[in-house]
Amino acid sequence: MNIIAAIENTIPISQFNRGLAGKIFADVRQNGAKVVMKNNAPECVLLSPQEYIRIMDALNDAKLLLIASERMEHYDSDMVIPAEEVQKNLGISDEDLSDFKEVEFE
């Protein structure tokens, strides 16, 4: 990141004390994240709710990918149990499942 971008994306905490929170929040919504500085050190990062959700979704996707990758490393097709056998072992019939809606996978 260049110096100009770093300066443009930092906010001194004193601006909040001067009643400029509304302006700062509007700037975050329009231009993206800001780093709040206190005593010349980063104190926190301001994000829009949409950006926070996007980041959390990406993090969760990465975690799920890691879990799936780890499971695939240990995948053994000989250990797979057909759904019909699982249902039989649990005493579940197709009729028992007929009232449930189809599940969508992404």
pLDDT tens per residue, range 48-69: 999 999 999 999 999 999 999 9
24 and 59 fall within a common domain: no
Alpha carbon distance, N-terminus to C-terminus of the chain: 35
67 and 82 fall within a common domain: yes
Q: How many CB atoms lie within 10 A of CB 45?
A: 13
Where in the sequence is the domain holding 84, given as residue range(s)? Answer: 51-92
User: Structural domain tally of the chain?
Assistant: 2
Contact call for residues 35 and 45 (beta carbons, < 8 A): yes
SS3 2: coil
87 and 57 fall within a common domain: yes
Sign of CA dihedral 93, 95, 101, 104: positive
Residues 5-63 have pLDDT tens digits of 666 789 999 998 899 999 999 999 998 899 999 998 989 999 999 999 999 999 999 99
User: Tokens at residue 40, please?
Assistant: 């010349």
Task: Write down the residue that tokens 């993090």 correspond to.
Answer: 59
Entry pTM: 0.62
41 and 58 fall within a common domain: no
42 and 56 fall within a common domain: no
